[in-house]
Structure 1
Amino acid sequence: MKLKPLVIGELTARLPIIQGGMGVGISLSSLAGAVAAEGGIGIISTAQIGFKEEDFDKKPLEANLRAIGKHIKRARELAPKGIIGVNIMVATKNYGKYVKEAVSNGIDLIISGAGLPLDLPALAGKTKTKLIPIVSSVKAANIILKMWDKKHGVYPDAFVVEGPKAGGHLGFHLEQLENIEELNYDQEIKDIIKLAKEWEEQKNCSIPVIVAGGIRNREDIDYYMNLGAAGVQIASKFVTTKECDAHINYKNAYLNAKEEDIMIVKSPVGMPGRAIRNKFMEKASLEKIPVTSCHSCLEHCNQRDIPYCITDALINAAKGHVDDALLFCGANAFEQNEIKTVKEVMDELTRDE
């Protein structure tokens, strides 16, 4: 069965694959541009995106906003006809400024999670940029649909439904993540798809649902498409590509990881997350790691209370200092066993049997 294109409003991706946004510095213009050039949708993570800018330590906001424009421009150069998006966390400090900067640079779409993006339509303004919330429950999807309709008179251009096997921050309780098989998450996906279709019929609009979390191969893609999904979002498989923006040490951490090395961690963001067990996580479980400076990354962050600085931990990951880093990953990251090109990964994911 040939895969259908992913249609989001006026945007049509030849392949129904969105590359997940990974920060800090894991999915920037190199990876996003490569995925978009192959017919998928490439996503740039805006999380502390300006960490390589000279003034980042002194002026993180200015550095990040400047870097958003740089990376969008570079991704466009790599994929002139491709679809480029950004991932912006609701929990980000100055969230609205990041949204407006991405829109002003002509980004095709914004994917937004780590909180409910209830004000995203107002922040984006009247624009062609497609707005896509990340949800993990039908309850969250319903709240967004009703609030966007009531407050802004609009509806999401799509939903990304992020399941319990995803990487990074997760919209689940710790107990749920420890008993994934008991969640019956397929039913949640079906319920969200059903809800989206009801709104499509009532409002004469289109709200495709994209499934994310733990997707490994073409068989998984076909499975979720048969459930009614319009596409999938995949992240971990793209970490171990030549084009991925991460340091080779980060990529090797995936290649060297065993299944038992994948663990659920408590993030300073206040949400559970999934990461690779390493020296840093062992140290963080035993003692608080002092925070020496603030990078203005999160809206709600108290230096006195957090176990470690998530910006420092993630920047260390991107730079390859893996023993002092938070190594976010998906549940199946341990299955990666070699460095490939984005084209090779996309061909594997979409090859017809």
Structure 2
Amino acid sequence: MAIPPLHIGNVTARLPIIQGGMGIGISLSGLASAVARAGGIGVIATPGIGMDEPDFRTNWVEANSRALAREIRQAKANAQGGLIGVNIMTVLTNSPELIATATAENADIILSGAGLPLSLPKYVTEGSTTKLAPIVSSGRAAALIARSWQSKCSCLPDAVVVEGPLAGGHLGFKREELDDPAMRLEQLVTETIEALKPFVQKAGRDIPVIAAGGIYTGADIRAIMDLGASGVQLGTRFVATHECDAHINFKQAFVDATATDMVIVDSPVGLPGRALRNPFVEGALRGEKKPFNCPYHCLKSCDPTKSPYCIALALKQAQRGMDDTALRFAGANAWRVDKLLHVQELMDELVAGYEAATA
């Protein structure tokens, strides 16, 4: 069976594959444009996107917005007509400014999670055609957002990404839920589709459900789409590509990882997170603190006076190729990565795997 396209409103991606937004600086215009050229939806991650700007510490809101605008323009210029998305975490204190920038720059879609993006439509530039897709971890959350948007702005999500507990980075689950069969991605996709049915029927239009978290092969894509998902979002697979915007040391850590290197850490923002084991993570697991000075307070849920370390700095150190001072977020299947590929090679592999899989 040929792999189908992904329709989100009046825009279409040739392949039903969205590249996950990975901060800080892991997925920028280089990776996003390569994915878009290959037929998927390439996504720029916004957390700390302006950390390399000269005025980041003194004018960080403007620095981030400026850097985002530049990355969107570069990605679109190199996407050969493909779709470019932006991931904007709800928990970012400058999310309103980032949303306004993304829509003003005509990003094709905004994906927003790390909290319930109940106010996302409020900050969209008037007249924007940018699609809006909340990222949720349950059908209940999807219905809550749809109900809220319908009440506040007479609109509905253009798509919904449902992310399971095998994803990398911050997870929208309690530790004890990570291995709960009721939280398996297959179950979450089914319940999210059911939760959105009343809204779909009333609106007379589809709300595609995109599955994310632990999807690794084309056969995985086929299996989850056979359950009703309209597409998938993958992050980890795109780290191990030549076009990924991270330092080669970051990518090589994925190639070298084993199953025992996958660990769950308690993030300073109060959520469990999945990462690769390294000296920094070992220290975090022992409860070691890394003193830091925070001039901007980028995350609403972070108390800089109590946080054991600056997660933004730790993630940026990883992107720069550091080890002892770095936090490398990764999906549960990162240990399966054994080589670097070009994005086009990866997409070809995923498509071939989908089409070879039997229902």
TM-score bracket, normalised by the shorter chain, equals over 0.9
1:245-289 per-residue CA deviation (whole Å, 9 max, x = no partner) reads 000110011111111111111111221110001100111233211
Q: In the TM superposition, what is the alpha-carbon distance from 1:295 to its structure 2 partner?
A: 4.0
Please state how far the C-alpha of 1:30 moved relative to its aligned partner.
Answer: 0.2
Distance (Å, rounded) in 1 between the aligned partners of 2:131 and 2:235: 20
Counterpart check, 1:114 vs 2:114? yes
| Residue in structure 1 matched with residue 187 of structure 2 by the alignment | 187
In the TM superposition, what is the alpha-carbon distance from 1:294 to its structure 2 partner? Answer: 3.1
Question: Where does residue 25 of structure 2 map in the other structure?
Answer: 25
Deviation string 1:9-56 (CA, Å, 9 cap, x unpaired) is 111000000000000000000000000000000000011101121222
One-letter amino acid matched to 1:85: G
Whether the 8 Å contact between 2:238 and 2:244 is mirrored in structure 1 is: yes
* Number of the residue aligned with 1:275: 275
Q: Which amino acid in 1 is paired with 2:262? A: I
Amino acid at match of 1:31: L
Task: Indicate if the aligned counterparts of 2:167 and 2:213 stay in contact, CA closer than 8 A.
Answer: yes
Q: Retained in 2: the 8 A contact 1:275–1:329?
A: yes
Q: Which residue of 2 aligns with 1:330?
A: 331
Structure 1 letter corresponding to 2:141: A
Q: Which moved more, 1:80-89 or 1:289-298?
A: 289-298
Aligned to 2:243: 243
Which amino acid in the other structure matches residue 76 of structure 1? K
Residues of 2 paired with 1:326 and 1:79: CA distance? 30
| Residue 314 (structure 1) aligns with | 315
Looking at structure 2, the residues matched to 270 and 212 of structure 1 have their Cα atoms a distance apart, in angstroms, of: 21
Which segments of 5 or more consecutive residues in structure 2 lack a partner in the other structure?
A: none
Task: Report the counterpart of residue 162 of structure 2 in structure 1.
Answer: 161
After superposition, residues 1-20 of structure 1 pair within 5 angstroms as: 1-20=1-20
Give the Cα–Cα distance (whole angstroms) in 2 for the partners of residues 84 and 50 of structure 1.
19
> Counterparts of 1:260 and 1:37 in 2: how far apart (Å)?
35
Supply the distance in 2 between the matched residues of 1:167 and 1:280 (Cα, whole angstroms): 17
The reply to whether residue 171 of structure 1 matches residue 195 of structure 2 is: no
| Partner in structure 2 of residue 45 of structure 1 | 45
Report the equivalent of 1:94. 94
Equivalent positions of 1:222-241 (< 5 A) are: 222-241=222-241
CA distance in 1: counterparts of 2:184 and 2:108, whole angstroms: 33
- Structure 1 length as normaliser, TM-score? 0.97
The answer (yes or no) to whether the contact 1:19–1:35 under 8 Å persists in 2 is yes
Confirm or deny: 8 A CA contact 2:270 2:301 kept in the other structure: no
Kept in 2: contact 1:19–1:40 (CA 8 A): yes
Residue of structure 2 equivalent to 1:208:
208
Whether the 8 Å contact between 2:21 and 2:45 is mirrored in structure 1 is yes
Residues 60 and 296 in structure 1, CA contact (< 8 A), matched pair in contact too: no
Structure 2 equivalent of residue 284 of structure 1: 284
Q: How many percent of aligned residue pairs carry the same amino acid?
A: 49
- Counterpart-to-counterpart distance in 2, 1:174 and 1:235: 21
Residue 156 of structure 2 is aligned to residue 138 of structure 1: no
The residue aligned with 1:127 is: 128
Aligned: 1:345 with 2:346:
yes
Q: Which moved more, 1:300-309 or 1:9-18?
A: 300-309
Q: Match of 1:302, as an amino acid?
A: D
Determine the C-alpha separation between the residues in 2 that align with 1:41 and 1:94: 24
CA drift of 1:136 comes to 0.6
Gaps of 5+ in 1: none
Verify the 8 A CA contact 1:90 1:115 in the aligned structure 2: yes
SS at 1:323 equivalent? coil
DSSP 3-state at the match of 2:324: helix
C-alpha distance 85-184 of structure 1, shift in aligned 2 (>3 A): closer
3-state DSSP of counterpart to 1:161: strand
Letter in 2 for 1:316: Q
Letter of the structure 2 residue corresponding to residue 223 of structure 1: A
